[in-house]
Amino acid sequence: MISLTHYLVLAAVLFSIGLFGVITKRNAIAILMGIELMLNAVNINLVAFSRFIEPSDVVGQVFAVFIIVVAAAEVAVGLAIIIALARARQTIDAEELHLLKW
């Protein structure tokens, strides 16, 4: 039997993998992919809680759908920014993009 804990552990692992990617990857597209993983980990959490705690209600699922929509929009904007960056600076290496300081 798969319990709520299994789902939560899965989500936590997924979230950590995504976070690890965001912090360690240099390629901006890889960072964006890490963020997608973290968002999906949250989605798993939401759906799992909804399924196990209040199955008749679909609040968690609705939230998950919203997050998918927002994530899609975010990816669209993020990719656009990366393309603009690539044109302007000929690189999308996150370590090279550190002019926004003091």
Positions in the binding site for other proteins (CB under 8 A):
19, 22-24, 31, 94-95, 97-102
- Cα–Cα distances in angstroms (integers) from residue 83 to residues 50, 69, 80, 86, in the given order: 38, 21, 5, 5
From the CB of 50, what's the least distance to other proteins, in Å?
Answer: 24
From the CB of 43, what's the least distance to other proteins, in Å?
Answer: 19
Closer by beta carbon to other proteins, 33 or else 58: 33
From the CB of 19, what's the least distance to other proteins, in Å?
Answer: 7
Cα separation of 27 and 2, whole Å?
A: 36
Closer by beta carbon to other proteins, 23 or else 88: 23
- Cα–Cα distances in angstroms (integers) from residue 14 to residues 8, 25, 37, 39, 68, in the given order: 10, 16, 6, 9, 16
Closer by beta carbon to other proteins, 87 or else 101: 101
